[in-house]
Amino acid sequence: MIKITLPDNSVREFDAAVTGMEVAESISSRLAKDVLSVSVDGVVWDLTRKIDHDAKVKLHTWDDREGKDTFWHSSAHLMAEAIESFYPGTKFGIGPTVDTGFYYDVDLPEGKTISDKDLEKIEKKMLELARQKNDIVRSEISKNDAMNMFTEKDDELKQELISELEDGTITLYNQGNFTDLCRGPHLPNTSYIKAIKLTSIAGAYWRGNEHNKMLTRIYGVTFPKQKMLDEYLVMMEEAKKRDHRKIGKEMQLFTFSENVGQGLPLWLPKGAQLREQLETFLKKVQKKYGYEQVITPHIGDVKLYKTSGHFQKYGKDSFQPITTPAEGEEYLLKPMNCPHHCEIYKAWPRSYKDLPIRMAEFGTVYRYEMSGELHGLTRVRGFTQDDAHLFCRPDQVKDEFKKVIDIIFIIFKALSFENYTAQISLRDPEKPEKYIGTPENWDKAEQAIIEACEEKGLNTVTELGEAAFYGPKLDFMIKDALGRSWQLGTVQVDYNLPERFELEYIGADDKRHRPVMIHRAPFGSMERFVAVLIEHTAGKFPLWLTPEQVVVLPISEKYNDYAKKVSEVLNISDIRTVVDDRNEKIGRKIRDNELKRIPYLLIVGEKEAEEETVSVRRQGEGDKGTMRINEFAEFIANEVREQLSGLYN
């Protein structure tokens, strides 16, 4: 008798080993039609794989990330089969899923190339193969047999991957005429894949190493219904218009330079102004909640990050240590701010009366991301976190955690992020080796987060295995104007770094105690947050935030002096104003400045100069009438006050 425990803790009993599909069929025929994969004790399996022991089971559909990953991973294999049919002798690297689909890195036979015009024929072949309803079959072989198999195929890419695997059983997946090295999971058969779009081609060094061979990377996306693909393509067209790289260039917010280095953004004056507004806004909110600003260096002794555990965990993803020739010291570009804040806490003795201590810093950190993974501001090598660390007594943890949630809600309200999910990210109990610290401390940290969310009335989802290596966390997943999900805002409870850094305070009992640490970054990173904000608003930021709030447009050169006078008056009133005094017709000036997404356009000519007024146009709304300069200044101030109403109080 096999007992299957479902997420609602209900138990279903089966006489013998059972597949995930059979579990789904026992619940409802509708679910069996929609299910794509199954988690067995937290590990995602094929639906056709037999479960021969009592297990906790969760069924995944298209609505689940695990379901999409299974669907897209199978699609990558289907694409590989289609490519091999056109280009026999192709060698296959890796074909993982990504946020919006999948890719496969391939090494084509000598003299062969794939261009954009070839993608359509590959799509058609994929659909043909999908309609054959070929079973996707998992098999197990020895490492030696797998090596022999791919040696016979003359695929040195797979041979390299196999050589790095531990001795023992290796899994293969086969559909139709294609067999691939893979751990899975996969769909039961190819017919689930109904709609296909191969989206782009790029070059990619094998395993991200520029010293290796350049492969061809083909990206694609698939869906279980044609309608879903049609909707996706419409959304992608809109996404192109909102691409933060395109809008950032148009608005002159940031740029990149090969001479500076890949993944290292340069903030232009308007972008710097935008960041300054965001920082000023958050600093005001933090001041209300009792935070104090600190500043830490961009580098630190390697010993610091070994103490924290970051070096052991992220050392391979960091820039390698800098060695001082004279004294042989080793320094690392700062990968995280928290170890530095622990050292600030240790600078002098602390009493229980001093706690909580709330340190905040807009601290720049550095991670070595592979060049192929870099993408505008969303994936960079140097970024600034709106970081803060709270050191508190155990009895203060829950209240402090709830106050951080309040700060995140203030930010979401100010920037109109209304659609979000709160995700409680816990450790994977099946993989204790991934985490530092004692189970007892983890239990306390996880319980504090769960209770805080319940008391705040948050609608949450829980994800096992998504915790940081040092503590559980609460992640806020927001949906932008196009319905895309982004992780913004994170709060973590940490009993472990205080242990590793031997942080203490003297309690009311005159004994030494360990504080608890809360990590908090509402924006996450300034770079990624700005990218998401650009795409969410299409560059039309709220008035309080936009780098240039007003542009004055003189009808002709005769009124340039008056335009400058208007600008000076408004700038004195802290209204960010510029003058467009180009020798262009007024219609051209209006069009150009609307493309720059400046909220207010003030047109001035003879009448306005004589009456000391401005003719007001609102971005997207047209003519708003004529106002005196001071009247307009108050009008702007009122709009800003209304947008920020109640946020600082």
| Active site positions, annotated | 338, 367, 385, 387, 389, 473, 519
Residue 494's alpha-carbon distances to 390, 392, 449, 520, in angstroms, are 10, 11, 11, 11
Nearest to 522 by CA among 424, 411, 445, 423: 411
**Four-point Cα dihedral 639, 640, 644, 649, nearest 10:** -100
Nearest to 94 by CA among 157, 47, 164: 157
Nearest to 357 by CA among 344, 370, 340: 344
The three-state DSSP-derived secondary structure of 117-158 is: HHHHHHHHHHHHHHHCCCECEEEEEEHHHHHHHHHHCCCHHH
DSSP 279-291: HHHHHHHHHHTT-
CB 57 within 8 A of CB 5: yes
CB 478 within 8 A of CB 522: no
Is 389 one of the annotated binding-site residues? yes
CB neighbour list of residue 105: distance below 8 Å, 6 or more residues apart: 92, 93, 94, 95, 204, 206, 215, 216, 217
CB 473 within 8 A of CB 425: yes
Give the long-range contacts of residues 637-642, CB within 8 A, separation 24 or more.
Answer: 637/573, 637/575, 639/543, 640/543, 640/544
DSSP 362-413: EEEEE----GGG-BTTTB-SEEEEEEEEEEE-GGGHHHHHHHHHHHHHHHHH
**Helix H or strand E encompassing 633:** helix 629-643
CB 36 within 8 A of CB 47: yes
588 C-beta neighbours (distance < 10 Å), count: 12
Is 392 one of the annotated binding-site residues? no
599-634 b/e with 16+ CB inside 10 Å = b? bbbbbbbeebbeeebbbbbebeeeeeeebebeebbe
Phi, psi torsion values for 608, nearest 5 degrees: -65, -40
CB 598 within 8 A of CB 512: no
CA 126 to centroid of chain Cα atoms: 30
Beta strand 2-5 pairing with 11-14? antiparallel
Two tokens, residue 625: 């009438």
Nearest to 479 by CA among 406, 396, 546, 420: 420
Is 310 one of the annotated binding-site residues? no
Binding-site residue set: 338, 389, 519
Binding-site residue set for Zn(2+): 338, 389, 519
